[in-house]
Amino acid sequence: MSSHTEKELADYLLNAIDNDYLINLLITSHTQGKRKSANMPFGLGKTTLEFWLNYYMNGKNWDRVFETTKYNPYEFFTLFDPTVRQKEGRLNAVSYDDLQATCPAEQGVPRAVRRLANYMTTSRPEVACILATADNINNISSPLRKIFLFELIVA
């Protein structure tokens, strides 16, 4: 019998919140995974799942979910402002919806997107869990693609 203990995703997320870690999670649907997928890019529930995860991690507070969900790099970047976080405290979770719309995989990544990716990897003092949605991991900018520890595929 093996002594291997299997962790579930919730264990990783709670560990990040409780122990000052950073977890980056991308929710996709247009990717094949362990289970057969409908292979559809839109309407399968990525944003819904993102909102529910954010809801539970932020104390079952819908207002907090909508305050911490952003749709462009600048607004998302402002969530990590250290002066605001010092006053309000560390965020358990933030969401970036439809990442591929504003940070697409293209030749010549804009400097702002590179800076965002770099800042997201060092934002542990400001946030515990970064949630994002995209139709496919290959459709987001390369610097951002590399920072996600987990990809959740909505089949």
- Each residue's pLDDT tens digit, 48-105: 999 999 999 999 999 999 999 999 888 988 898 888 888 888 899 999 999 988 888 8
The CATH topology of domain 17-153 is Rossmann fold (3.40.50)
Sign, CA dihedral 139-144-146-147, equals negative
- Token pair for residue 151? 């990809």
Strand partners, 152: 27
Give, in order, the Cα–Cα distances in Å from 40 to each of 30, 43, 136.
Answer: 5, 8, 10
Domain ranges of the chain: 17-153
Q: Which residue has the tokens 């920072």?
A: 147
Q: 123 pLDDT exceeds 80?
A: no
The whole-number pLDDT of residue 41 equals: 53
Region 124-138 average pLDDT: 90
Closest CA to 137 of 31, 40, 37: 31
Q: Both tokens of residue 1?
A: 């019998």
**Burial label, 121 (beta-carbon count in 10 A; 0-12, 13-18, 19+):** middle
- Return the DSSP state at 137: G
pTM equals 0.84
